[in-house]
Structure 1
Protein backbone atom coordinates (compact mmCIF):
# COMPACT_ATOMS: atom_id res chain seq x y z
CA UNK A 1 0.00 0.00 0.00
CA UNK A 2 1.08 3.54 -0.70
CA UNK A 3 0.23 6.53 1.44
CA UNK A 4 -0.08 10.00 0.01
CA UNK A 5 -1.07 12.96 2.18
CA UNK A 6 -2.21 10.52 4.89
CA UNK A 7 -4.52 8.70 2.45
CA UNK A 8 -4.01 4.94 2.05
CA UNK A 9 -4.15 3.61 -1.51
CA UNK A 10 -4.05 0.03 -2.75
CA UNK A 11 -1.57 -0.51 -5.58
CA UNK A 12 -2.82 -2.17 -8.76
CA UNK A 13 -0.49 -4.10 -11.08
CA UNK A 14 -1.93 -3.26 -14.51
CA UNK A 15 -1.66 -6.17 -16.96
CA UNK A 16 -3.57 -4.66 -19.89
CA UNK A 17 -4.82 -1.22 -20.84
CA UNK A 18 -6.27 -0.02 -24.11
CA UNK A 19 -8.62 2.65 -25.33
CA UNK A 20 -10.60 3.21 -28.49
CA UNK A 21 -10.04 6.45 -30.35
CA UNK A 22 -12.97 8.56 -31.52
CA UNK A 23 -12.65 6.89 -34.96
CA UNK A 24 -12.67 3.35 -33.54
CA UNK A 25 -8.97 2.44 -33.50
CA UNK A 26 -7.69 0.39 -30.55
CA UNK A 27 -4.59 1.90 -28.90
CA UNK A 28 -2.60 0.25 -26.13
CA UNK A 29 -0.97 2.21 -23.34
CA UNK A 30 0.91 1.33 -20.18
CA UNK A 31 -0.09 2.32 -16.68
CA UNK A 32 2.98 1.95 -14.46
CA UNK A 33 1.18 3.51 -11.48
CA UNK A 34 -2.44 2.90 -10.48
CA UNK A 35 -3.38 3.44 -6.86
CA UNK A 36 -6.96 3.45 -5.64
CA UNK A 37 -9.21 3.29 -2.64
CA UNK A 38 -12.97 3.72 -2.16
CA UNK A 39 -12.89 7.51 -2.59
CA UNK A 40 -10.03 8.27 -4.98
CA UNK A 41 -7.53 6.95 -7.51
CA UNK A 42 -4.25 8.15 -8.97
CA UNK A 43 -3.10 6.92 -12.36
CA UNK A 44 0.04 7.53 -14.43
CA UNK A 45 -0.50 6.70 -18.12
CA UNK A 46 2.23 6.33 -20.75
CA UNK A 47 0.85 6.42 -24.29
CA UNK A 48 2.45 4.66 -27.26
CA UNK A 49 3.98 7.94 -28.47
CA UNK A 50 5.77 8.37 -25.13
CA UNK A 51 3.49 11.12 -23.81
CA UNK A 52 2.51 10.80 -20.14
CA UNK A 53 -0.47 12.02 -18.15
CA UNK A 54 -1.35 11.80 -14.49
CA UNK A 55 -5.03 11.49 -13.63
CA UNK A 56 -6.70 12.21 -10.31
CA UNK A 57 -10.03 10.42 -9.97
CA UNK A 58 -12.69 10.67 -7.29
CA UNK A 59 -15.55 8.42 -6.22
CA UNK A 60 -18.47 8.75 -3.83
CA UNK A 61 -19.35 5.04 -3.79
CA UNK A 62 -16.13 3.13 -4.53
CA UNK A 63 -17.55 1.89 -7.84
CA UNK A 64 -17.83 4.89 -10.18
CA UNK A 65 -14.73 7.08 -10.57
CA UNK A 66 -14.30 10.27 -12.58
CA UNK A 67 -11.57 12.84 -12.90
CA UNK A 68 -9.24 14.94 -15.00
CA UNK A 69 -5.64 14.94 -16.09
CA UNK A 70 -3.21 17.02 -14.04
CA UNK A 71 -1.44 18.09 -17.23
CA UNK A 72 -4.52 18.96 -19.28
CA UNK A 73 -7.81 19.67 -17.52
CA UNK A 74 -9.67 19.19 -20.82
CA UNK A 75 -8.84 15.47 -20.64
CA UNK A 76 -11.59 13.77 -18.60
CA UNK A 77 -12.17 10.11 -17.73
CA UNK A 78 -15.01 8.11 -16.16
CA UNK A 79 -14.67 4.50 -15.00
CA UNK A 80 -16.73 1.79 -13.37
CA UNK A 81 -14.75 -0.59 -11.15
CA UNK A 82 -15.31 -4.36 -11.21
CA UNK A 83 -13.60 -6.69 -8.71
CA UNK A 84 -13.23 -10.46 -8.43
CA UNK A 85 -10.93 -11.57 -5.60
CA UNK A 86 -7.66 -9.75 -6.43
CA UNK A 87 -8.61 -8.97 -10.05
CA UNK A 88 -9.69 -5.43 -10.92
CA UNK A 89 -11.20 -4.09 -14.13
CA UNK A 90 -11.90 -0.44 -14.83
CA UNK A 91 -14.26 0.07 -17.75
CA UNK A 92 -15.13 3.53 -18.91
CA UNK A 93 -14.77 6.47 -21.24
CA UNK A 94 -12.37 9.29 -22.02
CA UNK A 95 -13.23 12.73 -23.37
CA UNK A 96 -10.83 15.27 -24.81
CA UNK A 97 -11.53 18.33 -26.93
CA UNK A 98 -14.99 17.16 -27.99
CA UNK A 99 -13.76 13.66 -28.92
CA UNK A 100 -14.51 10.61 -26.82
CA UNK A 101 -14.01 6.87 -26.72
CA UNK A 102 -13.93 3.81 -24.48
CA UNK A 103 -11.09 2.78 -22.14
CA UNK A 104 -10.43 -0.57 -20.43
CA UNK A 105 -7.89 -1.35 -17.72
CA UNK A 106 -7.23 -4.82 -16.26
CA UNK A 107 -4.99 -5.73 -13.36
CA UNK A 108 -4.79 -7.14 -9.87
CA UNK A 109 -4.22 -5.86 -6.36
CA UNK A 110 -0.58 -6.01 -5.30
CA UNK A 111 -1.93 -6.10 -1.74
CA UNK A 112 -5.46 -6.97 -0.70
CA UNK A 113 -7.70 -3.97 0.01
Structure 2
Protein backbone atom coordinates (compact mmCIF):
# COMPACT_ATOMS: atom_id res chain seq x y z
CA UNK A 1 0.00 0.00 0.00
CA UNK A 2 1.19 3.48 -0.75
CA UNK A 3 2.84 4.99 2.29
CA UNK A 4 1.40 8.47 1.75
CA UNK A 5 -2.16 7.13 1.59
CA UNK A 6 -1.62 5.08 4.75
CA UNK A 7 -0.16 8.09 6.58
CA UNK A 8 -2.98 10.37 5.46
CA UNK A 9 -5.65 7.83 6.50
CA UNK A 10 -3.98 7.43 9.89
CA UNK A 11 -3.88 11.18 10.49
CA UNK A 12 -7.51 11.58 9.43
CA UNK A 13 -8.52 8.77 11.80
CA UNK A 14 -6.60 10.29 14.72
CA UNK A 15 -8.08 13.76 14.20
CA UNK A 16 -11.59 12.40 13.66
CA UNK A 17 -11.44 10.36 16.85
CA UNK A 18 -10.03 13.37 18.70
CA UNK A 19 -12.79 15.66 17.49
CA UNK A 20 -15.60 13.21 18.13
CA UNK A 21 -14.34 12.11 21.55
CA UNK A 22 -16.32 13.58 24.39
CA UNK A 23 -14.44 16.23 26.30
CA UNK A 24 -14.15 15.63 29.99
CA UNK A 25 -14.29 18.60 32.31
CA UNK A 26 -12.23 18.60 35.46
CA UNK A 27 -13.62 20.53 38.38
CA UNK A 28 -11.61 21.75 41.33
CA UNK A 29 -12.29 20.03 44.61
CA UNK A 30 -15.20 21.43 46.48
CA UNK A 31 -16.76 20.86 49.85
CA UNK A 32 -20.04 19.02 49.83
CA UNK A 33 -22.40 18.35 46.98
CA UNK A 34 -22.73 21.12 44.45
CA UNK A 35 -26.23 21.75 43.16
CA UNK A 36 -27.23 22.63 39.62
CA UNK A 37 -26.93 26.34 40.35
CA UNK A 38 -23.53 26.15 42.04
CA UNK A 39 -24.61 26.16 45.68
CA UNK A 40 -22.51 24.04 48.00
CA UNK A 41 -23.74 21.37 50.33
CA UNK A 42 -23.70 21.24 54.10
CA UNK A 43 -20.05 20.13 54.41
CA UNK A 44 -18.53 23.29 55.88
CA UNK A 45 -14.95 24.27 56.55
CA UNK A 46 -15.39 23.72 60.27
CA UNK A 47 -16.61 20.16 59.66
CA UNK A 48 -13.64 19.49 57.38
CA UNK A 49 -11.20 20.78 60.00
CA UNK A 50 -12.84 18.64 62.69
CA UNK A 51 -12.58 15.50 60.56
CA UNK A 52 -8.91 16.21 59.79
CA UNK A 53 -8.19 16.84 63.47
CA UNK A 54 -9.73 13.46 64.32
CA UNK A 55 -7.66 11.77 61.63
CA UNK A 56 -4.43 13.25 62.99
CA UNK A 57 -5.37 12.25 66.54
CA UNK A 58 -6.15 8.71 65.39
CA UNK A 59 -2.78 8.46 63.61
CA UNK A 60 -0.98 9.74 66.73
CA UNK A 61 -2.83 7.25 68.95
CA UNK A 62 -1.91 4.27 66.72
CA UNK A 63 1.69 4.76 65.54
CA UNK A 64 2.06 1.08 64.61
CA UNK A 65 -0.66 1.39 61.97
CA UNK A 66 1.57 3.57 59.79
CA UNK A 67 0.33 5.86 57.09
CA UNK A 68 -1.88 3.26 55.49
CA UNK A 69 0.27 2.96 52.36
CA UNK A 70 1.36 -0.67 51.88
CA UNK A 71 4.92 -0.47 50.56
CA UNK A 72 6.06 -4.10 50.57
CA UNK A 73 2.82 -5.98 49.83
CA UNK A 74 1.97 -7.07 46.29
CA UNK A 75 -0.50 -4.23 45.89
CA UNK A 76 1.92 -1.67 47.34
CA UNK A 77 4.80 0.35 45.95
CA UNK A 78 7.66 -2.15 46.21
CA UNK A 79 5.47 -5.13 45.32
CA UNK A 80 4.21 -3.46 42.17
CA UNK A 81 7.75 -2.48 41.19
CA UNK A 82 9.01 -6.05 41.69
CA UNK A 83 6.11 -7.54 39.72
CA UNK A 84 6.54 -5.03 36.87
CA UNK A 85 10.31 -5.65 36.84
CA UNK A 86 9.78 -9.40 36.67
CA UNK A 87 7.30 -9.14 33.80
CA UNK A 88 9.30 -6.69 31.72
CA UNK A 89 12.59 -8.39 32.62
CA UNK A 90 11.18 -11.71 31.43
CA UNK A 91 10.09 -10.16 28.16
CA UNK A 92 13.49 -8.49 27.69
CA UNK A 93 15.25 -11.77 28.50
CA UNK A 94 13.16 -13.59 25.90
CA UNK A 95 14.07 -10.97 23.29
CA UNK A 96 17.77 -11.22 24.17
CA UNK A 97 17.74 -14.99 23.91
CA UNK A 98 15.85 -14.94 20.61
CA UNK A 99 18.19 -12.26 19.28
CA UNK A 100 21.21 -14.53 19.60
CA UNK A 101 19.94 -16.85 16.90
CA UNK A 102 18.05 -16.37 13.70
CA UNK A 103 18.40 -15.07 10.21
CA UNK A 104 19.99 -11.73 11.12
CA UNK A 105 22.34 -12.86 13.90
CA UNK A 106 26.00 -12.04 13.37
CA UNK A 107 28.00 -14.84 11.79
CA UNK A 108 30.16 -16.84 14.17
CA UNK A 109 28.23 -15.76 17.23
CA UNK A 110 26.16 -18.76 18.14
Range of TM-score over shorter length: under 0.3
Q: Which has the higher contact order (CA 8 A, sep 6+)?
A: 1
Structure number with larger C-alpha Rg: 2
Q: TM-score, normalised by structure 1?
A: 0.14
More helix by share: 2
Q: TM-score, normalised by structure 2?
A: 0.14
